[in-house]
A and B are shown apart, each in its own frame.
Chain A
Amino acid sequence: MNVTVLLFASYADALGTTELEIALPAGSTVADAVRRVATLPGADRVPPKPLVAVNERYAAPEQRLAPGDQLALIPPVAGG
């Protein structure tokens, strides 16, 4: 299944893009997706367990993904 990964701020700078598609086996979790992203060039500047949102909601590492889900890797937030 394919899922979209959104990247922001320092993580977008690290990976050199704001959005990518990754293919994962059915039944994969948020943690599986994060491990896949960690193999990409530049991912050494992203922490091993970043905050993640799935479809605009914060998600736990063990949450299962569905085809077409939109993951976002969330750098430490700094609003205000």
Chain B
Amino acid sequence: MRAALVDAPLDAAGLLAEVSAPANGAAIVFVGTVRESNDGRAVTGIDYTAYAAMAQRELDAIVGEAATAYDTPHVVVEHRLGTLTVGEASVVIAVAHPRRAAAFDASRFVIEQLKKRVPIWKREHYVDGSREWVDPTGVLVHPSPADQGHTSAGRATTAEAQR
């Protein structure tokens, strides 16, 4: 069981090797990567930033919960911080288990909990040069003043309506 925030490119094969053991009949590697578009806008890269101490604490808790709930110590997650380009891996989760169903479920548990609880944020870079913090809740959109001209009326209206 291990969780880490890292500044260097992630090594999915390394994580797979880390969880592999003769007792396991299944190993799952989930790789989350930077997508070339979001919400209809072309994305060129993403800055990932974190409240590092708390993010580490939450990641440690999540892998511990996964290990307990799915009865395997072979759970590893690494999340990258810094500026990533399209296609680069932002998160890798590796889980191994004697049985495939539990391996899939544990992997899914880790990514879903990570997205709910871990204080990590991303600021997307768009083709037009603007940058915005991503708000998965859609409740608030906070473009910086320099980006105001690029915020579509529709998105701004949605944010206002949900306040």
Which B residues, 129 to 163, have Cβ-Cβ distances below 8 Å to chain A? 133-137, 139-140, 142, 144, 163
Give the A interface residue count (CB, 8 A): 20
Complex partner residue of A76 from B32, B54, B123, B139, CB under 8 angstroms = B139
Given contacts A77-B117, A77-B118, A79-B115, contact A8 B144 (CB under 8 A): no
Is A80 a contact partner of B111 (Cβ separation < 8 A)?
yes
List of B residues within 8 angstroms of A8 by Cβ: 49, 51, 119, 121
Interface string of A22-35 (1 = CB under 8 A from B): 00000000000000
Give CA–CA (A8, B54) in the complex, Å.
12
**Any chain A CB within 8 A of the CB of B53?**
yes
**Any chain A CB within 8 A of the CB of B120?**
yes
List of B residues within 8 angstroms of A56 by Cβ: 51, 53-54, 57
Interface residues of A (CB under 8 A from B): 6, 8-10, 13-14, 45, 47, 53, 56-58, 72, 74-80
List of B residues within 8 angstroms of A80 by Cβ: 32, 79, 90-91, 111, 114-115, 120
Interface residues of B (CB under 8 A from A): 32, 48-51, 53-55, 57, 79, 90-91, 111, 114-123, 133-137, 139-140, 142, 144, 163
Is B140 a contact partner of A77 (Cβ separation < 8 A)?
no
Return the 10 tightest CB-CB contacts between A and B, nearest first: A79-B120, A9-B121, A10-B142, A56-B54, A10-B133, A76-B137, A78-B134, A76-B135, A80-B115, A78-B122
Complex partner residue of A14 from B79, B120, B142, B163, CB under 8 angstroms = B142
List of A residues within 8 angstroms of B48 by Cβ: 79
B12 CB to nearest A CB, Å:
15
Give CA–CA (A59, B118) in the complex, Å.
14
Is B163 a contact partner of A72 (Cβ separation < 8 A)?
no
B125 CB to nearest A CB, Å:
14
Give CA–CA (A47, B117) in the complex, Å.
18
CB closest residue in chain A, given B136: A78
List of B residues within 8 angstroms of A74 by Cβ: 51, 119
Is B54 a contact partner of A72 (Cβ separation < 8 A)?
yes
Give CA–CA (A26, B1) in the complex, Å.
41
